[in-house]
C-alpha cells in the first residue's frame, strides 16, 4: 500500500470578529536571540474526531478574537527590534486526508513511517514564512482519528503560552463562549532589562554531530522508588524532572566518555511566571515567554562516578538559585548572556513537555493519544520528556543526544538507570 496524504490549498483563517489594529511590543525575553527567530513544530495525535478540520478551523477563527495578536505578523523594525503588527491577516490553515489509518503507521510514533512534512502546513510558493506566527494542519485518517500539526513562533509563545492558545482553540471547539483562561498581553510591563539585539557579523561556525534518534520509557514505579530513596537519604523531596534529568545526565556522560576533567553540562528552560508578581500581578493568562535558562555543570569524572542522589542534589541546587539569578538578570547585573549555551558535545538540553498543557487539549473527542515534538537539530544534544503510550505510566524520553559510536553504550546505560 502506498501511503499518501492529500492536502487542500492552504488558507488564511482570520478572527471571526473585528479586532484591534496597531503594533504591540514584545518583551525582552521574547526578543532574546535564542528565541526570536525560532519556530516550534509538533504533531498532536487524537484517536477520534467528527469533521475535526471544520470544527477546529471554526474554533481557530473564534479563538483569534481574544488572541488577536496571533493573527498578526512579526515585524522587524529599522533599529533591529521586532514588534507584533496586529494586521488581522490570520493564521495559515490546511485541511488534509490520509489514505491510511493511524494503526497502519504505528499511531505516528517516532520514527515516523512517512515524512513529517506530510502533517504540517506548507505555505503557497509566493508567500514568505517570515513573520508568520501560527500555522496548523488537521489530517483525518481512515480510522476516524486525526492529527493536528502545529508550527508556532517562539517569539510569541513559550511552551505554556502555546499550550494556552491551543487550549483556547479547543475551548471554542467544545462550544465555550470564551476561553477558560483569558489572555493578557502585558509584555510592555516587563522591563527592557536585556539588550534584545541579535549578534552582529557572520554566524558562528557550529559542529554538526549527526545525533542518533532513540527513545526510552522510565516506569512510574522506578521514579517513585527513587523519590523514596532520595527522601530517605536526604530528608528532602525531589521532582520527577530532577530524577529523569539526573538519570539522563549520568547515562550520557558515561556513554560519551570524555576526559575526566572536561566539563559536561545540561540546560533547561525554567518557568519564571511565579517571579513576575511585581511586573505582572495577574500573571495567569500571560502567554509570552517567561523562561530563564538554567545550566548545571560538573567535571565529567564527577558525573560518571556520582550516585543519582548526588546528581539530583546538584540539579536542585541550581534550581534553587533561579530567583536570585533571574533577579540579577532583570537588573542588568549578569555579565554573560544566560541564553548562550555552548554548542559542544559535552552539552545537552532537556525539555519537559508533560506539564505545559498540551496533554489536556480536548477539541470535543478526548485528549491526545500522544505528542510528537521534533528535536531534529544536530548542533546540541537534546532530551524531550513525554508521556508514554497508554496504559504505561511514567516518562518517555525522546532523545537525540549521542553519535552512532556511542549509541550502544548509551542505550545500555539508559535502560539500567536505577
H-helix segments, 14-135: 33-36, 52-63
How far is Cα 307 from Cα 241, in angstroms, rounded to an integer?
16
How far is Cα 15 from Cα 152, in angstroms, rounded to an integer?
17
- Sort 280 into a burial class: Cβ within 10 Å, 0-12 / 13-18 / 19+: buried
Contact 102, 211 (CB under 8 A): no
How far is Cα 217 from Cα 417, in angstroms, rounded to an integer?
11
Closest CA to 355 of 381, 375, 385, 326: 385
36 phi and psi angles, rounded to 5 deg: -65, -30
H-helix segments, 235-320: 240-256, 300-305, 308-320
Q: Point out the residues that are catalytic.
A: 154, 362
Residue identified by cell 510591563 is: 189
8-state DSSP, 286: B
CB-hemisphere CA count at 13 Å for 36? 23
Amino acid at each position: 500500500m502506498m501511503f499518501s496524504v492529500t492536502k487542500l490549498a492552504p488558507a488564511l483563517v482570520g478572527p471571526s470578529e473585528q479586532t484591534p489594529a496597531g503594533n504591540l511590543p514584545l518583551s525582552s525575553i521574547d526578543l532574546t536571540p535564542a528565541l526570536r527567530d525560532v519556530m516550534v513544530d509538533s504533531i498532536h495525535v487524537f484517536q477520534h474526531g467528527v469533521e475535526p478540520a471544520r470544527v477546529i478551523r471554526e474554533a481557530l477563527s473564534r479563538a483569534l478574537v481574544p488572541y488577536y495578536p496571533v493573527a498578526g505578523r512579526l515585524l522587524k523594525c529599522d533599529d533591529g527590534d521586532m514588534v507584533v503588527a496586529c494586521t488581522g491577516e490570520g493564521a495559515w490553515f490546511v485541511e488534509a486526508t490520509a489514505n491510511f489509518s493511524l494503526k497502519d503507521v504505528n499511531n505516528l510514533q517516532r520514527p515516523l513511517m512517512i515524512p513529517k512534512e506530510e502533517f504540517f502546513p506548507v505555505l503557497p510558493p509566493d508567500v514568505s514564512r517570515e513573520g508568520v506566527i501560527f500555522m496548523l494542519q488537521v489530517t483525518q485518517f481512515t480510522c476516524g482519528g486525526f492529527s493536528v500539526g502545529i508550527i508556532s513562533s517562539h517569539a510569541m509563545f513559550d511552551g505554556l503560552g502555546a499550550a494556552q492558545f491551543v487550549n483556547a482553540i479547543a475551548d471554542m471547539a467544545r462550544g465555550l463562549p470564551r476561553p477558560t483562561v483569558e489572555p493578557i498581553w502585558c509584555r510592555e510591563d516587563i522591563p527592557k532589562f536585556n539588550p534584545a539585539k541579535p549578534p552582529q557579523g557572520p554566524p558562528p561556525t557550529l559542529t554538526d554531530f549527526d545525533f542518533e534518534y532513540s527513545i526510552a520509557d522510565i516506569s512510574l514505579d522506578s521514579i517513585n522508588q527513587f523519590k523514596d530513596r532520595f527522601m530517605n537519604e536526604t530528608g528532602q523531596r525531589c521532582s520527577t524532572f530532577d530524577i529523569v534529568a539526573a538519570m539522563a545526565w549520568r547515562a550520557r556522560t558515561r556513554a560519551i566518555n570524555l576526559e575526566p576533567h572536561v566539563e559536561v553540562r545540561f540546560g533547561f528552560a525554567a518557568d519564571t511566571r511565579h517571579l513576575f508578581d511585581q511586573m505582572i500581578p495577574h500573571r495567569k493568562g500571560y502567554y509570552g515567554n517567561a523562561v530563564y535558562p538554567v545550566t548545571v555543570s560538573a567535571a565529567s569524572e564527577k558525573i560518571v562516578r556520582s550516585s543519582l542522589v548526588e546528581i539530583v542534589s546538584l540539579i536542585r541546587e541550581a534550581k534553587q538559585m533561579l530567583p536570585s539569578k533571574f533577579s540579577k538578570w532583570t537588573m542588568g547585573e549578569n555579565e554573560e548572556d544566560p541564553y548562550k549555551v555552548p554548542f559542544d558535545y559535552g552539552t545537552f538540553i532537556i525539555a519537559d513537555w508533560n506539564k505545559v498543557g498540551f496533554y489536556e487539549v480536548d477539541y470535543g473527542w478526548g485528549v491526545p493519544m500522544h505528542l510528537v515534538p521534533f528535536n531534529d537539530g544536530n548542533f546540541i544534544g537534546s532530551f524531550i520528556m513525554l508521556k508514554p503510550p497508554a496504559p504505561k505510566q511514567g516518562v518517555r524520553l525522546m532523545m537525540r543526544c549521542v553519535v552512532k559510536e556511542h549509541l550502544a553504550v548509551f542505550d545500555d546505560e539508559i535502560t539500567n538507570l536505577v
